[in-house]
Amino acid sequence: MSKSSLIELAEIISTLTGSEKRSFTVYCNRLKQNEKSKFIKLFKLIEKQPEISDKEILEKTNISKTQLPNVKMNLKKQLLKSLVLNPRHKTPSIELREQINYAMVFYNKGLYRQSLSILESAKAKAKAHDDYTMQFEIIEFEKLIETQYITRSLRTKADDLAIESKNISLRNMRLSKLSNLSLQLYSYLLKHGYAKNEEDAEQVSEYYHDKLPMVDIAELGFKEKLYLFQAQLWYSQIQQDFRSSYRYGSHWVGLFENKQNLIQAHPVYYLKGLNAVLDSLYYLRYLSKFEFFFNQLTELGNATAITRNVNTSTLYFIYYNYNRINKNFLKASFSKGILEIKEIEFGIKKFERTIDEHHKMVFYYKFACLYFGEGEFKMCMAYLERILGKKNLKIRDDLMCYSYILNIICLYELGRDVELDQSIARTYRFLLRLNEMHEVQRAIFDFLRKLSTLYPQEIHGALGELKEKLKSLEDHPYEKRSFLYLDIISWIESKLEDRPMKEVVKEKAQNLK
């Protein structure tokens, strides 16, 4: 095994809880000859020293250079076996797979009746969880056994299995189409953001309607409805139809209502659904509904079904804190949001291995906007620099674009004229490379570019013109997206009225329903 295999082992071991480490020790020591096994020695070494090298392992153990790759492989295998056996990781999918494995053992021993009995039980469980893939595998296994275990009921059993197999195949095909559509739309949303123009909107609309299968929702199972609502929601968000995305998000979350077993079986889907609903409500500025669903998300923090592993704990951390910040934006409580940043940064550090760079950059942009709203422009720029300083980072162009623009505004507020000119030039180069400047961006950038040439008495008039121009674009189907990233109009109003921006935003927040 290569050097990367040692890094992989260190990563696995670093995620183990105290309980999982004890379970692994018990699992390994169940056989007396394992007590001094070389893979256990390797485990203890990596546990104490995650950055250990192959050379150090050879020096500190009796493992030879030729043995080391096999010892690493064996340790990884034993770790995985131990984790699968741990009750903490007993998901419905793992339990179903175990039952199929038991059935295979009986089948190989010629105990066909016992094997069929286990498969029947497993099939009922797979049906209860709408797991069509597992159902299909079980039915195919049953068909194999029925060809060898001849009973009087073979004819009717064969007919039943053939019908079941056909129905499940059709369901799996429909499920595959819906999940593919959902995935492609979500990928588009992450990569490109919202539709930027009519051409974008038509292209996505054509793809969506072409790939959406004709379905009768009354005939769909849980998973099929889930992927359908997901596809409808992502499509609505791309088209900036947030009322529709809220409706489909509510349908998505509604699939889990009063069904705790489904939340336990699919915690990631439930979390993503709640986050999608909150996202839509944030863009709709619907505070009371936002707080209702945010309370649901908050209560999930104490549910072991949601935070029982690193994956779901990471997702919960991201979604909870994104929406905690968004709630502060809606209520114009910038100072409260700033007080929470330190705690959130501690969490980012805690989940550093599992939070990707894009999500980190979104956090930094939100932090910057909190400081901007509070009027602390130096701190705003400090977080923007974490985004703008990442030259090779592939993140959404819209996030980069508004980071550049916000940085220029902060320099203007701080009176740093020399840096302001440099930042304007840097931003202009970025927008030229982007090759898709929109009316809102052009209006803002044109104003910022001529700032240094304006006399103090001319700035008020120029700001008024900019506000009028932006207000005319506020409800434009493809320009309004810009206002989702930066509340530029409130900043302009604060300058025109000579009062802090947070007061302007607070005043508007009082009118939210």
Q: Quick one: CA dihedral 226, 227, 232, 233, positive or negative? A: positive
In whole angstroms, give the CA distance from residue 320 to residue 294: 8
Euclidean distance between CA atoms 282 and 294, whole angstroms: 11
pTM above 0.95, yes or no: no
Q: Which whole number is the average pLDDT over 324-348?
A: 94
Mean per-residue pLDDT of the chain: 84
* 82-86, 216-220, 288-292, 410-414: range with highest mean pLDDT: 288-292
User: Radius of gyration over alpha carbons of the chain, in Å?
Assistant: 28
Q: Whole-angstrom Cα distance, residue 457 to residue 159?
A: 88
Alpha helices in 154-221 (DSSP H): 154-192, 198-211
Query: How large is the average pLDDT for residues 317-323?
Result: 95
What's the rounded Cα separation, in Å, for the pair 284 and 47?
49
Integer Cα distance of 462 and 492 in angstroms: 10
Residue corresponding to tokens 């250990």: 52
Least trusted range by pLDDT, from 86-95, 209-218, 390-399, 463-472:
390-399
Mean local confidence (pLDDT), 182-188: 90
DSSP 8-state class, residue 213:
P
CA triple 284-285-289, angle to 5 deg = 90
Residue 461 vs residue 196, higher pLDDT: 461
CA 176, chain centre distance (Å): 21
Cβ-contact 503, 494 below 8 angstroms: yes
Domain assignments of the chain as residue spans, ordered by start: 3-89, 92-151
Q: What's the CA gap between 100 and 381, in Å, rounded?
A: 57
Name the one residue in this structure whose structure tokens are 């995620």.
Answer: 15
The answer to whether the CB of 489 falls within 8 A of the CB of 471 is yes
Identify the band that residue 310 occupies on the pLDDT scale cut at 50, 70 and 90.
Answer: confident
Mean pLDDT of 54-73: 84
Token pair in block for residue 284: 């709709």
Structure tokens at 234: 């992502």
pLDDT of residue 152: 47
Burial class of 421 by CB neighbour count within 10 A (0 to 12, 13 to 18, 19+): middle
What CA–CA distance (Å, rounded) separates 442 from 455? 22
Torsion of CA 40, 45, 47, 52, to 10 degrees: -140
CA distance 231 to 248: 9
Per-residue pLDDT band for 260 (boundaries 50, 70, 90) equals confident
What number of other Cβ atoms are within 10 A of residue 491's Cβ? Answer: 20
Please list, in sequence order, all residues whose beta carbon lies within 8 angstroms of the beta carbon of residue 434, skipping any fewer than 6 positions away.
397, 401
What's the rounded mean pLDDT across residues 249-262?
86
